[in-house]
Each structure stands twice: as C-alpha cells, then as structure tokens.
Amino acid sequence: MRVIGLQAGFGPDRVTEELDGLADVSVLPPAGGIQAALEQLFSSWSANGDCREPIRERLARTSENTNGVKVSRHIERLWAAEEVARQLAGRQSSNAMLLATTHQVVTPASGAVVLETAAQYAMNGLNPADPATVPTVPMVPEPSTWAMLVMAGGIASALRWRRRFRQRHPG
C-alpha cells in the first residue's frame, strides 16, 4: 500500500514518522502551498498514467476462498453491466441477455417494462418483478413540488417582511 503525506502546517509530522517502515510512504513537499502540491501530484498521475480504476470480477467459490466478502446488490449489478458489455463485444448476445435479465440490469441486450397495475401486467402476459429485488433510489420530489416549495417560501418571506414593515411604520 502506498501512502502519500502532505503536511498542512509547520512542525514535526508524527503520523508519517509512525508509518515509516510499515508502508510505502512518500511525503509531498509543501513548497508553494497545499493546492500547488496537490496540483503537481495530480498532474504527475495523469502524465504517468498512474490512475486507479476499480476492477469488479466474480470469484468462484472454492475451498480456499469460502470466507470472501459478500457485496451489495448494487455492486453486483455494476459487475453484471460490465460483464454484459464485455460479452456483447465478444458477440455472445444470448449469454449477455441471460446475465442481464438474471441481475435485472437494463443494457443494450435487455430492457425493462414498468406498468402501473397488476391488471396491466396480466393483460400483456408479463409477471411483475418482486419489489424486494428491484433497485430503487430515494424519493426525489418532482420539479413541480420544488416550484411549489419555493413559492411557499417566497410568500412566507413576503408576509414576514410586510408584518415587520407595518410594525416599524405604523399608520
């Protein structure tokens, strides 16, 4: 593991001293300030191609790795989406479609149908997905809701200003 230290103030750097010998520690010179040091570090990464990217892969369960970390369904879906793209690039469309539908991922090999009622699903010969297996996002208010909240806040502010104005300037 590589640790990069950048001291924000003057004085001895006790953290870096304690890490010495435990990890690959390098200390950025603070000459020119923190921003300049970080800009120089980031530009050196892009120049050297030293950028980190996550690698998601599925590991087969063996007797050696039975106590692996179980990941969330969202991470699993990220892996499935990447794997579907890889299989489509390799012209394995049937495998890609099966993988995408198994993991409920919308890709060029699969889609999603969202209907409002059970009757609509029945009318179209479809089975609705189990709500417990469908990825969801937190409720985000519609733009009209935001507009209504802004208007209500504006009206409340105007009424408060009017009341203060009348108290200061009676008659």
Encode the chain (171 residues) as per-residue pLDDT tens digits: 677 877 777 667 777 777 766 667 777 776 677 888 888 888 877 665 555 666 666 666 666 655 666 767 777 888 888 888 888 877 777 888 888 888 778 888 777 777 788 888 888 887 777 777 766 666 666 777 778 889 999 999 999 999 998 888 876
In a domain, 162, yes or no: no
Question: What range does the domain containing 29 cover?
Answer: 2-48
Do 122 and 82 fall into the same domain?
Answer: yes
Return the bridge partners of 25, or none. Answer: 3
- Give the distance between the most distant pair of CA atoms in the chain: 88
Do 43 and 82 fall into the same domain?
Answer: no
Do 81 and 35 fall into the same domain?
Answer: no
State pTM to two decimals: 0.42
* Structural domain count of the chain: 2
In a domain, 164, yes or no: no
Q: What is the DSSP string of 99-112?
A: HHHHTT---TT---
